[in-house]
Amino acid sequence: MAAGALAALAVLAAGCGTGHAGGGPAGQPRLRAAASPGTGRPAATGKATAGKATTGKATGYVKRADFLTGVTCLATGTCVAVGWYYYGAAGPGLPLAVRWNGTSWLPVPAPGRGRGDLLDSVSCATASSCLAVGGLAEAWAGTRWSIVPGPPGGPMSSVSCPAPGSCQAVGLPPSGTRPVAARWDGRTWQAEPVPRPAPVPQNLTLAAISCATPRFCMAVGDASRGAKARPSPSYRDSTLAERWNGSRWRILPTPNPSHASEFSGVSCPAPTACVAVGSSAGGARTLAERWNGNRWTVQRTPDIGHIGYSALTAVSCATVADCTAVGTYNAGASGIAEHWDGARWTIQRLPAPPGQPGEDPLVLPASVSCTPAACTMVGTTQNKTLAERRTGGRWIIEPTPNPA
């Protein structure tokens, strides 16, 4: 994944008791997220500060930061978002879940087991059938979240549920460089072998997954070789896409605009139409590629400046000709949205909440989910949860709960 936009959220998390990240290009942190068809991983920056701390009554720790990292929305108008929050440098990471009921965001209790219970991604096949994954797995049956057995390969970073009782998840174990995939049938997990490119890369990541049907899923990420300390002539980071056909995973060829290109998000409204987004040129430019059922091709995407970093980290397609991607630009200092109308990508501005004294206003998009009626983006701002909603061509900030 492109590095710059993810670095600061990892820095913030590290300041709050964790560095919920893995290795990314050039030694930068990598964070995770996704959702039902059309989401990606969290974006972050290096400009935010820890903010003012408040006391958490339940644990006695100092509350430092709240993050929303995954969102999924249904055609009925409801949305579910998940993430995590922290209490102090010695405090636990706790799961966070909120629900949009059509008019406002409401907190929904999400059980945890102790430390490191971080939720990265969520997907809902129906309003009463959702699955969230991260450091643990939780299921929603319409009334409450409950912890379910974890996948056999370890923590997962992205999940997609095309039908009730049919979910696919991908991730990267804490140790090792081989990503894992598993299928959830509503009661148990089934591990699935994930092929690796030849020659085998030093680092291989599946960052996001989107399933159009139970027999068609697309997972994307990147494969890197060589010294990460760039500029290094030996370093290569290549986009990676793998397709599930109902029985096995298969690697698909993907073009690479530069020697350092990677995917962070994917959305498949149909088996013959997927969009994957990320970055190229070592994180300096946005990247989007489109799958037409036979091959991947690069799409032209606009950039706002090239100051250190510009990347798309998540994407959601309401239809084949209606996709929205979110990310960050200018070293991750600002949030960005881009819209595909079936012919071209255009930039949309994301409003920023007022900053605290001495802080820059920030919009750090992590995930996006779109229906034909609206798009919803979630993330973080000034260590607080953030949600923005677009109806028509305008994004509006929505009040979101933060754990007390």
Q: Tell me if 228 sits within 8 A of 170, measured CB to CB.
A: no
- Structure tokens that stand for 232 in this block: 């290094």
Through-space distance between the first and last CA atoms of the chain, rounded to whole angstroms: 33
Q: What is the reported pLDDT for 213?
A: 97
Q: What is the reported pLDDT for 259?
A: 84
Give the contacts of 126 (CB within 8 A, at least 6 positions apart): 74, 164
Beta bridge partners of 30: 22
In degrees, rounded to 5, the angle at the alpha carbon of residue 70 between the alpha carbons of residues 191 and 74 is: 95
Reference 275, options 253, 256, 293; nearest CA is 293
Q: Print pLDDT tens along the chain (404 aa).
A: 333 333 334 333 333 332 222 222 222 223 333 333 333 332 222 222 222 223 333 444 445 789 999 999 999 999 999 999 887 655 668 999 999 999 999 999 999 987 678 999 999 999 999 999 999 999 999 999 999 999 988 899 999 999 999 999 999 876 656 889 999 999 999 999 999 888 777 788 999 999 999 999 999 999 887 766 455 667 788 999 999 999 999 999 999 998 889 999 999 999 999 999 999 987 788 999 999 999 999 999 998 765 557 899 999 999 999 999 999 886 556 789 999 999 999 999 899 888 666 666 678 899 999 999 999 999 998 889 999 999 988 999 999 999 85
Domain limits for position 57: 4-398
Reference 71, options 30, 132, 156; nearest CA is 132
Q: What is the reported pLDDT for 369?
A: 98
Per the domain annotation, does 403 fall within a domain? no
CATH classification at residue 202: 2.130.10.10
Q: Tell me if 179 sits within 8 A of 156, measured CB to CB.
A: no
Q: In what order do the strands lie in the sheet with 236-244?
A: 203-213, 216-225, 236-244, 249-252
Q: What is the reported pLDDT for 153?
A: 84
Reference 44, options 9, 75, 72; nearest CA is 9
Q: Tell me if 128 sits within 8 A of 165, measured CB to CB.
A: no
Give pairs for 97-101: CB < 8 Å, separation 24+. 97/122, 97/132, 97/138, 97/145, 98/68, 98/385, 98/400, 98/401, 100/73, 100/376, 100/387, 100/398
Handedness of CA 257, 40, 216, 152 (dihedral sign): positive
Per the domain annotation, does 138 fall within a domain? yes
pTM of this prediction? 0.84
Reference 297, options 329, 274, 328, 269; nearest CA is 274
Reported as half-sphere exposure (CB side, CA atoms, 13 A), residue 2 has a value of 37
Total domains in the chain come to 1
Q: How far is CA 20 from CA 57, 145, 239, in A?
A: 24, 22, 23
Q: What is the reported pLDDT for 385?
A: 94
Q: What is the reported pLDDT for 89?
A: 58
Give the contacts of 363 (CB within 8 A, at least 6 positions apart): 334, 335, 350, 351, 352, 353, 379, 381, 386, 388
Per the domain annotation, does 353 fall within a domain? yes
Reference 20, options 186, 126, 135; nearest CA is 135
Q: Tell me if 130 sits within 8 A of 80, measured CB to CB.
A: yes
Per the domain annotation, does 391 fall within a domain? yes
- Structure tokens that stand for 290 in this block: 């489109």
Q: What is the reported pLDDT for 45?
A: 24
- Strand, coil or helix: 11: helix
